[in-house]
Chains A and B, each alone.
Chain A
């Protein structure tokens, strides 16, 4: 397929932009719901979500103005004015995206490895995930964003099944309405820091065909609704257990039952995995696009492979296995480093 997104005209619609940002949010919440994990009460979480959405809406105003005036990306613009600052900006954004991917891959593979026994090491799970994500990144931002619609439909169907299957277990008594200003501020910070979708939203302006402002605010609204909805459903079903279990959303799915299937958390894992692939592959794509700004003559596949290799390399540093580390350092990071350093 023509990977025009690394070189061609923007094609992502504003609704697609909103959907993919929501998918990124869904992935974060499915894997770990930051505010529940940190033990805030439901009222504190709700207020924190509202405040963080307002803060996010204010923070993206400069980006909205930027994309209304310029057709290029942020790093492209900076690089065009000053190569030094362009390289610095590229390094900062690239490092952020790679670390975000490392966190996502690490948490997701831990989740898969812990809750579903395939007899495969977490490293293998992570490696296969990264390979699939690199392929999806190669397909381009347009393919990833278009897929978001289908995944969103699946997610909504899944939520409908969950709600329908958990009706008996829902209790309003599970909701604690304690309020503390310090907790709310802390919760706002946790929510802002816990999701990487805002940076994705800011970088995706370059690929949005039209009405970026509409897409941005639509995604923030959707982000709030999804977070509130997921948090509410988890607490209503699980109650205080949500604060101590490892994966609240998964356990909410486990609690739901359908007549012909039991323990349908494995089915929910399909939606998880789809969301994970889209989220991580989009970040790999954005990282490769930033690399392309400073190395325009490299093939898209080399750039994508480089980003994927860096993720794998940093993942292994976090993990264990000296032999794996050495092998990956030699084959994984060395090849793209040599490619990138090769004279153009």
Chain B
């Protein structure tokens, strides 16, 4: 029967050939003679073998020390058969801790691209996959998007296995489970589902695994690629899936009965289901004294309301509800606005949109000049715009307060930005009535969101009294002790 020769499109599931020359030719054919493929033929106990790997993906020192030297030192009779050599290596030699036996080209190609070295033996239709990864990775560093004062300064990195260890170190329990598999048809990205086995149903885990495997994208380069497929919430500015760069936050979520997803190549982990109140919690809350943590938490909630509604309420009050403002303040505002050439609503929109431009420029520019953008944008342009009479001081002040308030809750930056602009337009056109309509629509929208059966507004609505000790306030640990409530125990959770 003619042997099936695999190619770069059809190689998954194709069994390995027995002949070493056939195996090498097949692999070269699949990889189209890629320049970074390293092939090292050698003879062990009279049997022809070859070690293949990708350049830059393996640690040469580890490979030499752990694989090449022991193999070269194998003492077997010269008439050793291929299968005897295979069994000797399999049963009597460790070589590396991360070791697997591959039987098809799909597994071999995936592993060699993941930094494994593959040992092929002439006459055996199996191969050893030896984990000797040595590609360059970023070291564990402070998370860039979730700063804190008293908590750990470790953040996730792009390597999923390193991230797995960061979580494992913090929860040393056999109940912490990791499920590693590949997704995406072209790029075979490694992902890991993390969960506590006693707090999450296997039905949910299996459902998530199926969803991930069904993602039709050819490649997954960031958490945003997978999020839409995991998010049950549609047509909403709020998401039912949250991200975190911190392993300690991830562990806290896992203890609450949620599921984490680590994706190779991105330092952000996804956590499902997300709750709205999560956006107002930081790890520092649990390191501060309860009274101060409660105060700061209430500040965050107030900051959210200020960030979203202050420009809209100001615009509405100045245009449609002047009777709301006291005489002294009204005269000052009238004097300032009298010289402005633009309508108030247009002024507010221009200032807010200009802030978005400055923010985006600050993010995209190299760090060496990024700071200069803040100075130029904020001080120079803002100040000269006011001096030139294009925008007014009160409007600039209101927008600056709103923008600064939004920095308090960076996780909600996207919905805050959208809702802020909508409230300005609604306030400018229909006054506080318009702002109220926007607020109503947003409130009903977020209250209707559920992800994996858990309402996003839990435990506030539906109210779960036992869990309220850590929502608006932060009770002390002695009082929280014994109130460990997982998300599945919240009122209103659909367990089906």
Contact = CB atoms under 8 A, between A and B. Distances in A.
B435 A146 contact: no
A85 interface: no
Interface stretch (B178-186, B202-210, B233-241): B233-241
A26 interface: no
A262 B317 CA distance: 12
Contacts of A146: 447-448, 455, 457, 461-462
Contacts of B462: 13, 16, 146
Given A116-B433, A274-B439, A136 B444 contact: yes
A264 B324 contact: yes
A267 B432 CA distance: 7
- Among A142, A209, A262, residue most surrounded by chain B Cβ atoms (within 10 Å): A142
Contacts of B444: 135-136, 139, 143-144, 147, 277-278, 281
B115 interface: no
A261 B324 contact: yes
A15 interface: yes
Contacts of A120: 429-430
B285 interface: no
Interface in A215-253: none
B431 A136 contact: no
Nearest to A8: B494
Interface string A5-33: 00001010101100000000000000000
Interface in A145-169: 146-147, 149-151
Nearest to A136: B444
A118 B449 CA distance: 33
A125 interface: yes
Nearest to A271: B436
Given A1-B234, A116-B321, A262-B326, A150 B448 contact: no
Interface in A260-301: 260-264, 266-267, 269-270, 272-274, 277-278, 281
Contact of B236 (A1, A142, A144, A270): A1
A69 interface: no
B432 A142 contact: no
Contacts of B436: 269-270, 272-274, 277
A266 B448 contact: no
Interface residues of B, number: 41
A270 B435 contact: yes
A147 B445 CA distance: 9
A108 to B, nearest CB: 10
B492 interface: yes
A112 interface: yes
A204 interface: no
A125 B437 CA distance: 11
A81 interface: no
A149 B462 CA distance: 9
A264 B234 CA distance: 37
Interface string B11-27: 00000000000000000
Interface in B291-341: 317, 320-321, 323-326
A261 B445 CA distance: 31
Contact of A128 (B430, B431, B435, B457): B430
A173 interface: no
A2 interface: yes
Given A11-B494, A139-B445, A277-B444, 15 more contacts: A9-B496, A120-B429, A135-B441, A143-B447, A146-B457, A149-B463, A260-B326, A266-B323, A266-B432, A270-B436, A273-B433, A274-B440, A274-B443, A277-B437, A281-B444
Interface of A: 1-2, 9, 11, 13, 15-16, 112, 116-118, 120, 125, 128-129, 132, 135-136, 139-140, 142-144, 146-147, 149-151, 209, 260-264, 266-267, 269-270, 272-274, 277-278, 281
